[in-house]
Each structure stands twice: as structure tokens, then as C-alpha cells.
Amino acid sequence: MPSLSERADQLDAADPLAAKRAEFDLDPEMSYLDGNSLGAPPKGVAARLAEVIGHQWARRLIRSWDEGWWTAPERVGDRVAPLVGAAPGQVVVGDSTSVNLFKALVAACRIADGRDEVLVDAETFPTDGYIADGAARLTGHRVRRVPVAALGEAVSERTAVVLVNHVDYRTGALRELPLLTAAAHERGALVLADLCHSVGALPIELDALGVDFAVGCTYKFLNGGPGSPAFLYVPSKWQEEFDQPLAGWVGHRDPFAMEPGYRGAAGVRKGMAGTPDILSMLALDAALDVWDGVRIGQVREKGLALGEFAFACVDELAPGVEVLTPRGPARGNQVSLAFDGAREVTRALADRAVLGDFRPPDVLRLGLAPLYVRYTDVLRAVRELRSCRT
């Protein structure tokens, strides 16, 4: 049987996505395994921002709003749409994930009139729980936290909306979004999906599944940059009824009429609130160029293969380390490892130019972004992990 080093070299040589790594500005001496927190910068972003700042802002000034800035939230949203299985006109980019989550959650509660409960998976990313609690206080709903395996059965005639993370941020476990959506709809409830750890990592079919609302960030596997604007998915079937609570001027039907009362825009633009962050928006627009010629199925296939290789490396080189991530296909693109001293080891790995990240109380996460992570990066990370623990 080939050694791990031989396997890594063979897999890298046969990788159909290998050429994509050259499109990223990565330190060649570093193994970057934290794309599930912050994606690496595509090389085209710096040049695009230089043009935006040096020409669109410095030379065209206010005219640039009419020359592409004003429509950027919908235009960039339409570029994200294929990555989440959405038809054009149903995704808008702007604000943060937390803000968009609040909009969608309140709007869902208003649509599901007469139901007073929000179901949240008990292992949710903390901000989702915070937002759910805040939205519930404003709308008169109660939040009920349920283990994710029991979410479908927990839906009742009182449930307005089920809020679920598509991929668990801590373990990387993939949730059964199709089954959960079907169970919620069967009982008359809506589904709001948080796609932060799945968009750009695996195929998502929001339209086909009938998911009611979805949100997600763009700075992880979409490589939009730190704090890049999030996206909001509002399918056509709900756009007219979508009554979001942050009725800002950009979402107005005629923003420059300066009317005292609010009239929501037609279509998904109603999901906007305040003035979009153009620099971050257009950095994201440039970052999305790396997806040209890439099929999400290829990304999924490599992500699963990277994970299988990581499991093999841990089993052989780091016995005693607990693998929290499911070993089958029911996972996203990260491998989470639990062991005593994980915080200190994560820091020591960074000193050795291997970047993962730590999550309390004892978890090291290795993000496997298929567009630029190599099998040799995975092997190096586990070797250094073993060295740091001995």
C-alpha cells in the first residue's frame, strides 16, 4: 500500500481543481486550513478594488451609483444564486448574516400568522440563537431549542418557522435539509436555512427543496474577504408577502422619491435596508470570478476526498485524537478534532505555518476549501499536529 506521502502526491497530481490554487494569493510556505472561517484572497480582487477606488470612486464619483453601484446587490446576488440552487431574482447581497437572519426570521413569523413558536436546533451557531431570541421578543413568539435530530418531529401546529444550520459549525456534520423541509411543510411551518458553512462547499438546491428563506455569509468558502456582505434568499413565492422589519430606504419601491411612508420594492430588493457597502460588495464580485468553469459537484467530490484523506492521516499519525466529524458523506468541508490542549496546539501549528482554528472547549478545526487546499497540506497539518502533541 502506498505511504501517506505517496498518496498525497498522487491525489494532488490527479486533482482536476489543482490549477485553481494559482488563482489565489497564498503564501507558498503556508498550509492554510481555515477557509471555513476566512477564505483565501483570489488574486483578481486587489486589481478590481484598485480600479473601483482609482477610477469609479476617484474619477466617476457620484456618477458610479448610476453606472453599476446601485444595482450591485441584485447583480452579485444573481452570481451567488447558482451556488445555492436558486433562479435569478431571488438572492440579494448586502448587510451581515446576522442582520439578514433577523429580517428573514421576523418576516417568516409574520407570514406564519397565528403560530407562536420558533424552533431552533440546540447546537446552532450562537448568533443564530441570539437573533432568534431577539426576534421572538419583538414578535411575541417563543423560542424552543431542540436537538437537531429531533427537529422534524418537534414541529407542531404552533411552529411558525424552523431555523437550522445546514452544516454544524463545530463538528462539520451535514443536516438533513430535504427531510427537515418536508417535515416542516407537512405540518404547515416554514424553514429558514443558515448556509454559512455549506455555500461554496457542497451542492445546495433551495428552489428544488422548497426552502422558504435562507441566509449565508460570503467570506468563508466564497472568499469574499473579511466582513464581506452576506446574502439573503427570498423565493419568488414569498416576495410579495415578505414584510421585513428593517424597512430602509434602499428597499423602498422608489428610494429617491423621499416619501414619508415606506413602500417595499418589488422583488428581492425589498430585502435590502441601508446603503450597500460598495467596496466590500465589489471585492466579493471579483472573488466570485474564481468559480468560472467550476462545477459545484467537482468541489463536493474533492471536499469529501480531502476529508477521507484527513481521516486516514489522523488514524495513522495521531491515535488518541477524537474525530468529531462524521466519516461518511453527511458532512461539510471541515474536519473537527477533539483533544486536550487543542487551544495551545492550534497556536503552535500557526507558528509552524499551518493555520487551522480553535473552538471551545477542545476542538481544532481544519477547513478543507477544495479550490486551494492540497492533500499535501492535510498531511502536513496532521504531521505537525502529532509533533506538537508529543
Q: Does 220 participate in catalysis according to the annotation?
A: yes
* Cβ neighbours of 244 (radius 10 Å): 22
Q: Per the annotation, does 159 bind a ligand?
A: no
Q: How many C-beta atoms lie closer than 10 Å to residue 293's C-beta?
A: 8
194 in active site: yes
Question: 113 among the known binding-site residues?
Answer: no
Q: Is 24 annotated among the ligand-binding residues?
A: no
Residue 219 annotated as catalytic: yes
Query: Given 102, 125, 221, 375, which residue is catalytic?
Result: 125
Q: Was 125 annotated as part of a binding site? A: yes
| Residue 25 is labelled as binding a ligand | no
- Residue 78 grid cell: 444573481
C-alpha distances in angstroms, 193 versus 42, 100, 214? 27, 11, 5
Q: How far apart are the first and last CA of the chain?
A: 27
Choice among 103, 170, 365, 374 that is catalytic = 365
Q: For residue 365, indicate whether it is catalytic.
A: yes
Q: Is 275 annotated as a binding residue?
A: yes
Is 219 annotated in some ligand binding site?
Answer: yes
Active-site residue, selected from the candidate residues 24, 219, 221, 233: 219
Q: Which residue in 21, 220, 270, 380 is the catalytic one?
A: 220
DSSP H or E stretch at residue 162: strand 159-165
Class of residue 207 by CB neighbours under 10 A (exposed 0-12, middle 13-18, buried 19+) = middle
φ, ψ for residue 33 (rounded to 5)? -125, 45
CA distance 164 to 166: 6
Check 15, 34, 168, 194 and give the catalytic one.
Answer: 194
**Cβ burial, residue 132 (10 Å; 0-12/13-18/19+):** buried
Q: What are phi and psi of 318, to 5 degrees?
A: -135, 60
**DSSP output for 201-257:** TS---HHHHT--EEEE-SSSTT---TT---EEE--HHHHTT---S---GGGBSSGGG
69 is in an annotated binding site: no
**Residues annotated as part of the active site:** 125, 194, 219-220, 365
Annotated binding site for pyridoxal 5'-phosphate: 97-98, 125-128, 194, 197, 219, 249, 275
Annotated binding site: 97-98, 125-128, 194, 197, 219, 249, 275
